[in-house]
Amino acid sequence: MNKVFKYGLMTILVALALYNAVRIKPLNEVKKKQDTQLFDAKAYAADFMANKIESLPALQVDSFLEHLGNNPTAYAQEHGKKLGISDAYHFIIEGKGSVSAIEEEYIVLGLGDGSSVAIATDFIFGNAIRDGSGMAHIDDHQNTMDFNSISVELNNQVRETIVPLLRDKATMGSTLYFKGAVTIAIDQPNPSEIKIIPLRIQIINEP
């Protein structure tokens, strides 16, 4: 009898322990908690554009173009950033230039040494901002969808906030300061075809 009582008591204690260990929650409560943990790429990108661009390190555009023309592979490996085994390197560059042409898809800035760069105002896509800035790493996110959505929202931010300002303020002959992201395919570098995604634009003077 004592043995039956002993095993019966143990069964009750185990059942109580399991009951306390397993908490059954309503489905809507669980779903609500999951929703609050979803990654908000739009807010993440907006905060970066509003608060991180000014302090973001950048290469000077004249030095950038010079080194690309001399030894692009070594320069990219030292100063650029890339994801995985890709041959595409991403950079953040800055400089000043005078508006020499206003095209449908970009604005051309003439630099002091006679060279020029194009600031993109259309077809803004890719991972240049995310990867060039080093702002995010794939291991920091739960899935690749969250990681990829960062680039999408950063590009949207540029289209919605930077490009309209550039289109509105840039006039022929005006001098601009820019900071932007650029991608270079190191196996076929061509500085003349570089399109800079603008992250910051400042009108220095008007003609």
Domain ranges in the chain are 2-205
pLDDT of residue 19: 53
User: What's the pTM value of the predicted model, to 2 decimals?
Assistant: 0.79
Residue labelled with tokens 């259309």? 122
Are 69 and 60 in contact by the 8 Å Cβ rule? The answer is no
pLDDT in tens, 145-196: 999 999 999 999 999 999 999 999 899 999 999 999 999 987 766 766 789 9
pLDDT of residue 138: 79
Q: Which fold has domain 2-205?
A: OB fold (Dihydrolipoamide Acetyltransferase, E2P) (2.40.50)
pLDDT of residue 37: 66
pLDDT of residue 33: 43
Q: What is the DSSP string of 46-85?
A: HHHHHHTSTT---EEHHHHHHHHHH-HHHHHHHH-B--TT
Q: Which pair of structure tokens corresponds to residue 139?
A: 């291991």
In angstroms, the CA 69 to CA 125 distance is 25
How many angstroms separate the Cα of 125 from the Cα of each of 42, 81, 151, 152, 155?
15, 17, 8, 7, 6
Are 183 and 90 in contact by the 8 Å Cβ rule? The answer is yes
**Burial of 76 from C-beta contacts in 10 A (0-12 / 13-18 / 19+):** buried
Residue labelled with tokens 């990108």? 45
Q: Residue 71's Cα: distance from chain center in Å?
A: 26
In the predicted model, residues of the chain with pLDDT beneath 50 are 14, 18, 21-22, 27-36
